[in-house]
Amino acid sequence: MSEDNKPKNGSEPRPRRARNLPLILLLSVLALMALSFVDKGGAPAALTYAQFREFAERGALDNVEILHSPGSTGHVEITGKFKKKKLQELLDKGLVPKAAKDVIENRERYRVDGVLRGAIDGPQIYEDLKAWGLKPEQVDEDEASQLLPTFLFSIMPWILIAAFFWFFIFRPMRQAGGGGGVLSFGRSRAKLYTPEMTNITFDDVAGIEEAKEEVREIIEFLRSPQRFQKLGGRIPRGVVLYGPPGCGKTLLAKAIAGEAGVPFFAISGSDFVEMFVGVGASRVRDLFNQAKEKSPCLIFLDEIDAVGRRRGSGMGGGHDEREQTLNQILVEMDGFETDKGIIVVAATNRPDVLDPALLRPGRFDRQVTIDLPDVKGREAILTVHAQKVKTAPAVNMNKIARGTPGFSGAELEAVVNEAAIGAAMNNRQWVTQGDLEEARDKVRWGRSRHSRVMTDRDKEALAWHEAGHALTHLLLPDAEPVHKVTIIPRGQALGATMFLPARDRYIYSRNWLLTNIVTLYGGRIAEEMITGDLSTGASDDINRATEMARRMVTQFGMSELGPINFAEEQETIFLGREINRTHNHSDETIRAIDEQITKISSECYERAKTLLTENRDKLEKLAKALIMHETLTAEEVQIALDSGDIGAYREANEKRNGGSNTPAPQTPEDKPDTLPGLDRGPAPGIA
């Protein structure tokens, strides 16, 4: 057998004929039984001797066979065939008793039960048969042919039991064991990827440059371990990759193996844990044995927190199978030498629940954090994935990157893929900027739902609500540029006001936080100005504004209470779930905290109300434009505030961009931070 056809788990495959032997034997026995019935014309009708006499007297029997067996005593067997026409005639005339009718229906042969040998040997029965016009045929069967049907019927229950165990017990266990039968139940399920199969290098990984630099020494060790051994250095046995879901941990591990040109074993932590205690530990031993045979190589343990949780923790105590599996991993990582050329790379998004024994030096020596990409990283990731699709020359990936803060690498890949699907559905030759914008909104907020029917009054209130958010944000300093305003429902939101940050923010000032609170209240105030009533549409805005004000007071020290942390302490279990909250301050302090939160919220609310009241004419223009066009870009917002014609602008823009309504791409330097014609007020400070 060639190397390519050998199984990846290291075990020799069983021949296909041997694997299917039990099933072949079962089918053969069933076929023999079916043939035995076919040869005899089906199962014979069981008649009493009285019924036999009655049918014989009426001429419904075709022949009589008296079966003798050498050396047997007691009962004998009388069999034969019915005359179909005569029997049907008797049935049609109703001359057959109901008891006999039920027995002989749809039968070709009969069998007489309860006949003693003495009755057959006597002269009377032969005289009766002669009188009925029947000539008995003496049949002598050897012992083997007579016992065959009896033998088949006797072993039938055992055949059914064997079939039950095969299909419902042994076959599932064999499949669970990876195709090698029950004996391979404890073999590793790791998939082996050769360098030719992975074909992934650092060129395919973007947005995590710092993490790539941290693992370069591992690549050098896998390429030339002697270089480090000459100086007496010890390369780390294991590396743990931390990061949110979709940030590229698995891709980075494959790229390490691809850059080093070594085999790559991939397995998930959940593949070790089974209902049988000890199976996971057996699979760990088998995995490391395979790795030693393929060294130098890389072992990748995805979602290691499934088996690497802190032992003996949690409200329910420990888990024997998981803890034995973890113990075996610890033993194996201590057992192999660094000169074997084996590096273990693990990935998790829950580093807080890992057992400390995993992270000590000598096991997983290095912890590499893979965070969400910044704006440059997002642009690089989008560029990598955009190489797989046809994009228009005017596509500006920097603009998409600026509009996707907090997106992971997987989400950015989904944006490019959704854009390609959207372009194909619209019969375009390439992906345009508009396709990417729509795909980004779809991934972040969900598909637009034009089918949701709204009354004119609700639509007007929603337009004023979103116009209030947008205008309030435009009138305040420290605000991000407005990117798009829409009243088309997406996901759970009825409308949205989207902003386009010029850069990623890592530190948030007090004025920036207050600006966002004022913006959140702007929608509620604008809606109240047009309808004269309050609605539930601003519930999420109020919740977010209140939470932001609470964190300013309790965590950030941005209130009159001073730089003191009043945050509630949380008691957690190993799953990271909150089970209790405690606080170490008095009731008077709690009352003061509530007063500060109320003060910040109230003054931001009044600030938003003042801004919108003073600029009601601009608010009305923006709301009317939203009612008419439903979605406005930043350029169209400015046109609406200047009482311009948005329809004419869109027609000119479509001609300029070849049928797409997407504005011409702009670089960050060309994008103004403010819209002309709007005088931003002072920072919304709190007195």
The H or E element that residue 598 is part of is helix 587-614
- From CA 278, how far away is CA 320, in angstroms rounded? 9
Q: Provide the phi-psi class of 246: left if phi over 0, else alpha when psi is between -120 and 50, else beta.
A: left
Catalytic residue (choose from 259, 379, 466, 527)? 466
Q: Distance between CA 556 and CA 543 in Å, rounded?
A: 18
Q: What CA–CA distance (Å, rounded) separates 420 from 409?
A: 17
- What SS3 state is found at 502? coil
What string of DSSP letters covers 194-217? Answer: -HHHH---GGG--S-HHHHHHTHH
AA identity, residue 110: Y
Pseudo-torsion of CA 458, 460, 465, 469, nearest 10°? Answer: 150
Q: Which residue has the tokens 């060309």?
A: 670
* CA neighbor of 256 nearest in space, from 297, 287, 227: 297
List the structure tokens of 127.
């005289």
**Rounded to whole angstroms, how far apart are CA atoms 301 and 313?**
22
Contact between 195 and 250 under an 8 Å Cβ cutoff? The reply is no
Please report where in the chains the tokens 């223009």 appear, as a residue: 621
Cβ proximity of 11 and 184 under 8 Å: yes
The H or E element that residue 588 is part of is: helix 587-614
Ramachandran quadrant class, 248 (left: phi over 0; alpha: psi -120 to 50; beta: rest):
left
DSSP H stretches of helix in 43-142: 49-57, 84-93, 98-104, 117-121, 123-131
The bridge status of strand 64-68 relative to strand 75-81 is antiparallel
For the question of residue 651 being annotated catalytic, the response is: no
Token reading at 388: 């797989």
Query: Which residue has tokens 């279990």?
Result: 573
Closest to 472 (Cα-Cα) out of 535, 520, 530, 418:
520
Exposed e or buried b for every residue in 553-584, given b needs 16+ CB within 10 A? bbeeebbeeeeeebeeeeeeebeeeeeeeeee
How many angstroms separate the CA atoms of 674 and 669, rounded?
A: 13
**What is the rounded distance in angstroms from the CA atom of residue 451 to the CA atom of residue 428?**
24
Q: Which residues are catalytic?
A: 466
